Structure 1
């Protein structure tokens, strides 16, 4: 069925039509063409942009239309056009350079305001969030991008402690902490969580994209290229820039509800995982050109349960296995106030509060960790979360002697408090409480930046120069839980709260560091066809020293419809404070049996005794080569191949035990029976290719937009870095399971085809996402018998109708054919269920309805 859909969609894409509205947009002052001008057909779900020569073309049926023309650095204007049957029209416009350009956000990947996305030397995805969220079932940013951007991957996890509450996400198969996230071009803080379990992001810290409500976002820009030399640490895989809404005098409100079709439930319940989302967005004018835009968002997601799957012994499975229950509340704002013709003050930020309940592993009735007088049938602990995330940025943009100047500060904080309920502390016996405060951690970040940009139009064919500095302060805390959550009151029995032992006073700490970054970024059009760019960045960290990185980029226009582009850069990522200082005692399940594991902080007595060196920065070499092409009427094609080699990647090791001869004396002396730690364990290389084919045309009185996106990706480990003491245990230092976890950060292929047809008040969306095969090693550690998740495809369908300009309705489904990954033995998987969190997830079909209101 899915193969047929791909074939039909490709045939529809191949239809070409002549364009009957053409034009060129130029700079009013200089007469030079303006690339990247956004042209929106007001009242319709369609738009285009000008190419590098300022040209655009559109196919419009007979009728009257209003078009809006807007560009970074220029005024926004509207024009009315009337198209007669069989008529061709040309519309040439000159846009006035506007000082209100200071309120725009430069497209990520280039600091040149005259550069368009298709004119960029690096591949960039622009995702119009308003268009995507109005037609699809995904409500949070991670899931939205998972099914829209082929190079982006994020899966919900279960039985993974904190990762059940914060979804890890990655670009191009690299780590979650190797992607830099910006909001309105400013560095966003990471989550305080370091992921310890689950198939994605193990040992990584990343940015929690779901703290930002989709209803507050105008567009998301994804730079699929190494950019550490431009934007700093973490940008090895690329950059995600989230641009907040700026609209005014319009109320947008949405009510969304959906639920999963439960194919696998022991109680035969047909639907679960109900998801309710309510949001509203409104903006006010401030003076003539200023604004204040505010978004409120409430999302409540219920549990799914896919335990007790058919054909698998129920005694080997968890009784509860599925998505966590999450209540997510957000308030975000974006504002700018004109202070003079050349100066504007800006501010943005928000508050996100999240409450979560996540399933932990089942403790059976006869488990030594159970007290039968309290739980005669055993118990299923619930790990709770209370996450508070804050962001606030403010600054001034002005113009001094033709230099655009931006001076601003952004502060961020993420606090994660653990709790455990429906549990007990076995060592307390029958007097044990059933609920505990287990402690947690917090990360705070403050970044102050001063940036200068200037475009010299009379130098060569155009020269853009940018330079600046950033000063960053980071603070990380671990705080202890209540005594009963960790203490052994009877040393012969298991200590602490079952499901998640609390942090102990010995784990508590407060650590900080500072960083200073200096950069220069230039782009020169040597001719109208040939551009080169160069960037360099110096950074100094108080905890590990200095690094200097560079980037070269180029773009060559072979013809008006074909452009070659490429980049070469070095990159770096400083170990996060959480990776450097995290320490705790956790309960892990190996082959279904509970074991206590100590995670030792780098530099502790344990890691020193084992000869583990201090953490150092990851370094990378990135290269990309590709082209963009206009293949005729309505077609665009981009192809970009990439290579990323990373040295000294930070990972969480396997578990070392006190019965290993070479290290037994050291561990026994320190009274440690099982330990793991963070270290620069491996070096990797990643090779891949991104392909995006898009087409738009008219069919009858409607408009058809079709796109095909593909990512092919291969990651290999090229070195394991051990010291002399641990060299005999190289296979444990980075074991078989960890190897496949790293490779599973992205499937080897991911394909996305979308067909979007709009006619009058109707809109139809069909999308098929094919996920490639994923292989994982289970607790058997048997390379000959891996858990293989064969390629699968998820099909989404939605129908939208606008009753009036103010009210619209969308109904549809995600994964409408109820496709699941392949099942495996629940007692051997990492998650303890029949599936690991791979591909499209394991919840099945999701059916939804959305009401939209505009006033």
Structure 2
């Protein structure tokens, strides 16, 4: 039994049109990056040129799609040194961007993506054609575009488990429901019933850090004679990176004789990832009634630990000093008295140490515990689980005779446990622990779908496809309180701040579960009126128990002039419902503002203090999309060019910070919020602005016999421009500039893949146009960053039919991102602006061994 495509829940959806909540109008598709193919058993078969995402009708030839879709084969995904799925797909699809997120609270743990310049939760993610649950993390430091976004965690999906990845670059909320404003990413799991692969990969950055070790395996097994089980496992560890310089204030302490300061005192770089394990299983079985049963799911877990901001031992407010470093704050631990603050202005380290040492035994200052200051590490444990079970087939009798069905139940859960290391709850004084469990976010989603398809003879070129169905979803977001020491109000709160410094734990008053339910119904009709003309219409109705109903449509079409040329287009409306987490989340974080650390509180839009600052209850985003494209297929060329425009009203994002007064803090405390004594400002999520995004995607592929082997060339280019057409002071000018300028307007990749009998190689050029460089989400730290070019390369040798050895590099020439000036670098302790589309870590090389059986 070579391959059980017929059992695969999504592959059957192509044949019978039964993918859950999928509409029609998307058929055979352009291959974004064609796999290397040789006329030998040593080489892999070419990636399928049919996408299962979208269409309810039978697959058609490549180029017949009314909307643009990229297909990335499993082998193409593995031609990268970095196995993070975010990096794998972003290096292939120019309209998809991923930023590194150093020192970004929860965004460090789960990085968001951007398709066509929209936020990560504007892109719907599917697994085997079924809706994937969101991550529990909400990105409050999400690089401007993703501030407040709650998208799925793509990093848990291993490349070795993938048969292919399909990226629909078109508004599709009318087909799939909420979140598909920018498009859809569908991950298709392998479904072979025999054979397998084992990979071992080792690599590190040119700087000598970020060393990663990965072991991955995939195996296909028969499930009786009528089914399959395909399992994949990946285990990896990744060391942290540092692209830091010593902070100026830390160096000044060292120059003054302080030998307790670390070098560097603060780290900007990628986090450390430990014991990252993920398991995916995909199974299918033929049933006696002619139908099929299917099941797929995953278990994933990892520990992440990243850097945070340096706490200066002279002037960090609420811990060391409350007057900017004029004196050290001293507390009386027994009530015996005689504990005056220590004047330190103008003193060197030895003099300060002597003055502190002369304090009575009952007097305590945190300078005694941390004479060199301290730098918290922010991290956590991330777990992700999902299970989808379903059955599909065709009714054979009764009034439903001839109608095909697909019934599915899905449950997905994401849990993020937040931890803070090397920090303090200052209000506890000398009794404070230094490591804290700050609490958890838990996202749980349950979805049930019933989908039906009927082919009706209507006198057209092909039978009319009529699809209809319904979906029910329950979504919950839970906040679990942190350990008591992480939020406790200690005995010294009148002088020192309470809560774990940098990320106060969630308090019991904040803990709880919020739930929302919704149901939807849709009808899709697809018609091939003639051999050359295809048209489709989808209408979807959704009812949410939180904000009411919405109805959306999508109209698509394609006209083929001849065998080589075709024109295609679409127009649609869409929406994105605010998540339960966005409506109810609250926390406190630390930011850098004009070189000074400040604590910023995030409040629900329904909080009285947030309302006082202009907040209103969140409403859905609404969108209107339009696209028009041209397709050419001839003389071994495949070329598509598509223009798109997406207007989004009432977009959800994080507000600008608002100053917090003592009266505001008193109100917050009265509402049960703790850990806010050092708050200087608050933000909240809001529907405050509208955007218009437009762009052009060009994809070109060409294959030919070359240099004694087979050469494949792929060019992909994206121009994307976002304009904020409406906003108020709640959003603010700085947030607008981030939305409009942080991502490059121009991105392109050009890939040359070459294969021979025993060798294969590829070279990819990545181009990133000019963009706005921003550091630490600080409006005072921006620059016009220049365009960048990087090269990726890999060479593979096929030792025999089973063993392959590969060596490669990403950013082969070690091109640098935009650098901070030496003056700013000294203040911030960093080398580069963090909003770099190419990342900040530089060149990376790797060696990989593969065994196929």
For Structure 1 versus Structure 2, the TM-score category normalised by the shorter chain is: 0.7 to 0.9
Partner of 1:814: 810
Structure-2 residue corresponding to 1:615:
618
- What is the CA-CA distance between 1:700 and the residue it aligns to? 4.0
Q: Distance in 2 between matches of 1:221 and 1:681?
A: 32
CA contact (8 A) 1:259 1:846 kept: yes
Q: Mean Cα displacement is larger for which, 342-351 or 735-744?
A: 735-744
Equivalence map 1:44-123=2 (5 Å): 46=36, 107-123=52-68
Q: Which residue of 2 aligns with 1:644?
A: 646
Confirm or deny: 8 A CA contact 2:557 2:568 kept in the other structure.
Answer: yes
Q: Is the 8 A contact 1:110 1:120 kept in 2?
A: no
1:553-572 counterparts in 2 under 5 A?
A: 553-572=556-575
Cross-structure match for 1:736: 733
Deviations 1:116-168, CA, capped at 9 Å, x for gaps: 452110000011022330x3212011010111111111122110011111011
Which consecutive unaligned segments of at least 5 residues does structure 2 have? Answer: 1-14, 16-26, 254-263, 321-365, 396-400, 672-676
Alpha carbons of structure 1 residues 377 and 250: separation in structure 2 relative to 1, 3 Å? same
Give the match for residue 192 of structure 1. Answer: 136
Separation in 2, partners of 1:778, 1:846:
23
* Alignment of 1:155 onto 2:99: yes
- 1:326 is matched with 273
C-alpha deviation, 1:64, in angstroms: 11
Please give the secondary structure, in 2, of the residue aligned with 1:230. Answer: helix
Give a deviation string over 1:687-731, Cα, whole Å, max 9, x none: 10000111001014300000110010000100015xxxxxxxx2x
Q: Aligned-pair distance for 1:595?
A: 2.2
Q: Secondary structure at the match of 1:498?
A: coil
Indicate how the Cα distance of structure 1 residues 781 and 248 shifts in structure 2: closer, same or farther if over 3 A, else same.
closer
Match of 2:851? 853
**Given the alignment of the two structures, is residue 394 of structure 1 paired with residue 389 of structure 2, yes or no?**
yes
Cα deviation 1:280-323 (Å, max 9, x = unaligned): 11011123341000111102111001110799996698621110
Does structure 1 residue 788 correspond to structure 2 residue 784?
Answer: yes
Match of 1:260 in 2: 205
The answer for the alignment partner of 1:598 in structure 2 is 601
- Whether the 8 Å contact between 1:602 and 1:678 is mirrored in structure 2 is yes
C-alpha contact 2:100 2:834 (8 A) present in aligned 1: no
Is 2:758 the partner of 1:761? yes
More off after superposition, 141-150 vs 610-619: 610-619
Secondary structure of residue in 2 paired with 1:163:
helix
Stretch deviating more after TM superposition (162-171 or 280-289): 280-289
Alignment correspondent of 2:361: none
Structure 1 residues 381 and 786, CA gap change in structure 2 (3 angstroms): closer
1:235–1:307: structure 2 CA closer, same or farther, 3 Å change rule?
same
- Partner of residue 228 from structure 2, selected from 291, 295, 303: 291
Equivalent position of 2:288 in the other structure? 340
1:314 to 1:812, Cα distance in 2 relative to 1, 3 A: farther
For residues 510-550 of structure 1, the C-alpha deviation after alignment (integer angstroms, 9 at most, x for no partner) is 10010101011111111110111100000000101000000
> Which secondary structure does the structure 2 equivalent of 1:145 belong to?
helix
After superposition, where does 1:306-705 map in structure 2 within 5 Å?
306-308=243-245, 319-327=266-274, 328-340=276-288, 342-368=290-316, 369-370=319-320, 371-400=366-395, 401-456=401-456, 459-462=459-462, 463-489=464-490, 490-491=492-493, 492-630=495-633, 632-658=634-660, 674-705=681-712
- Give the secondary structure class of the aligned counterpart of 1:130: helix
Residue 329 of structure 2 is matched in structure 1 by: none
- 1:278 corresponds, among 195, 215, 220, to 215
Q: TM-score, normalised by structure 2?
A: 0.83
How far the C-alpha of 1:505 sits from its partner, in A, is: 1.6
State the distance in 2 between where 1:154 and 1:172 align. 11
User: Does the Cα contact within 8 Å between 1:562 and 1:628 map onto a contact in 2?
Assistant: yes
Structure 1 stretches lacking a partner, 5+ long? 1-26, 28-34, 48-59, 73-104, 263-270, 722-729
CA drift at 1:735: 2.1
Q: Is the 8 A contact 1:591 1:827 kept in 2?
A: no
- Asked if 2 retains the 8 angstrom alpha-carbon contact of 1:373 and 1:430, the reply is no
Match of 1:207 in 2: 152
CA distance in 2: counterparts of 1:188 and 1:584, whole angstroms: 26
Q: Given that residues 218 and 233 in structure 2 are in contact (C-alpha distance below 8 angstroms), is that contact kept between their aligned partners in structure 1?
A: yes
Counterparts in 2 of 1:664 and 1:814: CA distance versus 1, 3 Å: closer
Instruction: State how far apart, in whole Å, the 2-side matches of 1:530 and 1:647 are.
Output: 33
User: In the superposition, relative to structure 1, how do residues 818 and 404 fare at CA in structure 2: closer, same or farther (>3 Å)?
Assistant: same
Give the structure 2 partner of residue 231 of structure 1.
176
1:819–1:844: 8 Å Cα contact kept in structure 2?
Answer: yes
CA contact (8 A) 1:202 1:741 kept: no
Distance (whole Å) between structure 2 residues aligned to residue 496 and residue 782 of structure 1: 27
Cα gap change, 1:119 to 1:155, in 2 (>3 Å)? same
Kept after mapping to 1: 8 A contact 2:284/2:295:
yes
Q: In 2, are the aligned partners of 1:507 and 1:584 still within 8 Å (CA)?
A: no
SS of equivalent to 2:561? strand
By how many angstroms is 1:567 displaced?
Answer: 0.2
Of the structure 1 ranges 313-322 and 462-471, higher mean CA displacement relative to structure 2 is found in 313-322
Task: Note if contact 2:30-2:62 (Cα within 8 Å) is conserved in structure 1.
Answer: no
Number of aligned residue pairs: 751
CA distance in 2, matches of 1:549, 1:562: 31
Cα distance in 2 between the residues matched to 1:569 and 1:676: 33
Partner Cα distance (1:315, 1:179) in 2: 47
Contact residue 36 and residue 46 of structure 2 kept, 8 A: no
SS of equivalent residue, structure 1 residue 465: strand
CA-to-aligned-CA distance 1:476-507 (integer Å, 9 cap, x gap): 10111112112231121122212321111222
Matches of 1:310 and 1:377, distance apart in 2: 13
Distance 1:310 1:767, change over 3 A: farther
Report the Cα offset of residue 812 of structure 1.
1.1
Cα pair 1:333 1:350 within 8 Å, conserved: yes
TM-score, length basis structure 1: 0.83
In structure 1, what is the Cα distance between the partners aligned to 2:469 and 2:829? 46
> CA–CA distance in 2 between the matches of 1:682 and 1:830?
31
Equivalent-residue separation in structure 2 for 1:469 and 1:752 (angstroms):
40
CA distance in 1, matches of 2:614, 2:226: 61
Offset, 1:740 = 2.7
Does the CA-based 8 Å contact 1:165-1:326 persist in structure 2? no
For 2:108, the equivalent position in structure 1 comes to 164
| Shift of residue 597, structure 1, vs aligned partner | 2.1
For residues 255 and 188 of structure 1, the distance between their equivalents in structure 2, rounded to whole angstroms, comes to 28
For residues 683 and 737 of structure 1, do their structure 2 counterparts lie closer, same or farther at Cα, with a shift above 3 Å needed? Answer: same
Aligned to 1:800: 796
Q: Is the 8 A contact 1:417 1:440 kept in 2?
A: yes
The answer on whether the counterparts of 1:667 and 1:673 sit within 8 Å (CA) in structure 2 is no
**What is the distance in 1 between the residues matched to 2:47 and 2:818?**
48
Does the C-alpha gap of structure 1 residues 310 and 494 become closer, same or farther in structure 2, counting only changes over 3 Å? closer
Which residue of structure 1 aligns with residue 343 of structure 2? none
C-alpha displacement of 1:428: 1.9
Report Cα offsets for 1:735-779 as digits up to 9, x if no partner.
233123323563211100000000111001100101111114668
User: CA-to-partner distance for each residue in 1:401-447, whole Å, 9 max, x for gaps?
Assistant: 33221001110000100111122222222222111110021010011
Distance 1:523 1:221, change over 3 A: same
CA contact (8 A) 1:351 1:391 kept: yes
Question: Is 1:716 the equivalent of 2:712?
Answer: no
Deviation at 1:364?
A: 2.2
C-alpha distance in structure 2 between counterparts of 1:439 and 1:669, whole Å: 22
Paired residue secondary structure (2:684): strand
